[in-house]
Structure 1
Amino acid sequence: MNSRAFWFAGSCAVVCLVAASPPGHCAPACEPSVSVEPVSAGLSRISISAPCFAGGHISLRYDSLTLVRVLDENGALTVLFDCYLGEKPPLKLTFPDGMEIQAQLRTIDLERVTKVALFWRGRVNLDLHAFEYAADFNDVGHVWAGAPSSRWQAEERHRRDKLGHGFMTTVSDGTSEGDQLEVYTFIHEPSQASGAVTLALDYESRARIPQEPDSCGTGLYADLEYRVAVWRPNGSVSRTRGSFAPLPCGHPSDQTARYNSKALPQLILTR
């Protein structure tokens, strides 16, 4: 599909793409358009305008990941997209009538960060937990969806202790269509001599009391598969996958043992 790209001058490059309108599609006044703005910590701000599809569902495909989001009553949507595989994979947007726009991602600081992305498909919730520097549950260094921290908090902690710190850049709760995604982003301190971040995975839906019926026994997601991708500051990407063994219903996970640290890589920080 043809598209037109325009570059705007400024401190950050913004790429705007407008779909070529095939016969029978929207009039030019409401053709879908997409703009991409680079954001720090390896993020891209995606702004979508599609007046013809107000309230419609749009899919965003990035490599093997597919996210589904809903346009507002004006056909607009802004997404802070996590580039956990870098800028090279394009972002493919598909609108309700099948029209596609391919956007080139732009971001900042990928050479300063490690990203750990966890994604799965299903209406259940997984939580990625990061324990920085031997932090315990609910300590300041325990970062997860319930205490996501932020870029600004991570930078403030770095100013105080001269260590790298991280935060959750994307969190899912299992309620959206398409894939679910959680990403922990760690901002490195170049002069740091040593340190470690322990990562753990929690099948939160199965640990609830009462349990989610789909998460146990012979439920639809009893043996849920998940995938993990890790972006390193040198541009390398590693990928793994795993799955949960079925667990009988009525036997919730032990409140400590449920956090599986073997499911995710550990971040060893050395010069």
Structure 2
Amino acid sequence: MNSRASWFAGSCMVVCLFAASSPALCAPECGPSVSVEPVSAGLSRITIAASCFPSGRIVLRYDSLTLVRALDENGALTLLFDCYLGEKPPLKLTFPDGVEVQAQLRTIDLERVTKVALLWRGRANLDLHALEYASDFNDAGHVWAGAPSSRWQAEERHRRDKRGHGFMTTVSDGTSEGDQLEVYTFIHETGQASGAVTLALDYESRARTPQEPDSCGTGLYADLEYRVSVLRPSGGISRTRGSFAPLPCGQPSDQSARYSSKALPQLILTR
């Protein structure tokens, strides 16, 4: 052992002997911990403590979904996680040192909700739109990232008209690392009259002015792919995939054809 290593070992021994009541001074315990709390509308509150990694990034994996999130300066993070595939798939968290922690998700109300999840990857923005009961765009029944509603608003509308309503439980704008995710959660009212929710998909960032070069022609996201999954109250899950057809650069987006209702399923509500 060289003299520097000997000095360090001896110094640590002295500190440990001097502070026998606080052994953490020599061997700090800051391994990550993860706790899960069930939340209504099919959500889980994830609380992460990892003081060894202040401002570090962690990777969250849920089935085929990969998210990247930043810890704060204390190595902590609390987030609401959307269980759009239910509680069965575990949530796997990988910390900066490669340590993986697996968490069992817990939630409330899955038997009362339908969840429609839209996933894509890349620095492009897609918007999932829900038009409840023949609502038009910008009506009160139009739910999307720009008018996400909330659990409490959906419940208030249900008290007034005795029909189920929904809200956005997760929204993305295309700027996060990893996958992008938007989820519309519909809370059912048992025995309600027949009705329907029309779902539409908008490639919002392709319709911007000026046009983004990556979204058109042979750009990186010109034929952007996306995935859709639907979780029913019965626990059944359906999955589909799709992509956008490329558009020439310089061609204005046709507003009448901008919103695609064919890309997403429609929710038919019956007694």
Q: Report the TM-score, using the length of structure 2 for normalisation.
A: 0.89
> CA-to-partner distance for each residue in 1:146-203, whole Å, 9 max, x for gaps?
0000000000000000000000000000000000000000000001120000000000
Q: Find the aligned partners of 2:172 and 2:127 in 1 and give their Cα distance.
A: 8
CA RMSD of aligned residues (A): 1.1
> CA-to-partner distance for each residue in 1:244-267, whole Å, 9 max, x for gaps?
011111113212211000000000
Secondary structure of residue in 2 paired with 1:51: coil
Q: Which residue does 1:241 correspond to in 2?
A: 241
Secondary structure of residue in 2 paired with 1:111: helix
Q: Is the 8 A contact 2:91 2:102 kept in 1?
A: yes
Identify which range, 205-214 or 258-267, moves more after superposition: 205-214
Are 1:49 and 2:49 an aligned pair?
Answer: yes
Q: Is the 8 A contact 2:90 2:105 kept in 1?
A: yes
Residue segments in structure 2 that go unaligned for 5+ positions in a row: 1-26
Q: Residue 97 of structure 1: CA displacement?
A: 1.2
Q: Find the aligned partners of 1:98 and 1:121 in 2 and give their Cα distance.
A: 23
Are 1:135 and 2:130 an aligned pair?
Answer: no
Tell me how many residue pairs correspond in the alignment.
Answer: 246
Q: Which residue does 2:184 correspond to in 1?
A: 184
Q: Which residue does 2:200 correspond to in 1?
A: 200
Q: Cα–Cα, structure 1 residues 106 and 257, in superposed 2: closer, same or farther, change >3 Å?
A: same
Larger Rg: 2
Q: Is the 8 A contact 1:228 1:264 kept in 2?
A: yes
Secondary structure of residue in 2 paired with 1:156: helix
Q: Find the aligned partners of 1:213 and 1:95 in 2 and give their Cα distance.
A: 35
Q: Report the TM-score, using the length of structure 1 for normalisation.
A: 0.89
Q: Which residue does 2:4 correspond to in 1?
A: none
Q: Residue 28 of structure 1: CA displacement?
A: 5.2
Q: Is the 8 A contact 1:43 1:107 kept in 2?
A: yes
Q: Find the aligned partners of 1:265 and 1:164 in 2 and give their Cα distance.
A: 18
- Give the 5 Å matches for 1:35-74: 35-74=35-74
Q: Which residue does 2:124 correspond to in 1?
A: 124
Q: Which residue does 1:169 correspond to in 2?
A: 169
Give 1:104's aligned amino acid: Q
Secondary structure of residue in 1 paired with 2:41: coil
Residue segments in structure 1 that go unaligned for 5+ positions in a row: 1-26
Give 1:252's aligned amino acid: P
Q: Is the 8 A contact 1:195 1:268 kept in 2?
A: yes
Q: Find the aligned partners of 2:182 and 2:252 in 1 and give their Cα distance.
A: 23
Q: Which residue does 1:22 correspond to in 2?
A: none
Q: Which residue does 1:96 correspond to in 2?
A: 96
Q: Find the aligned partners of 2:47 and 2:220 in 1 and give their Cα distance.
A: 35
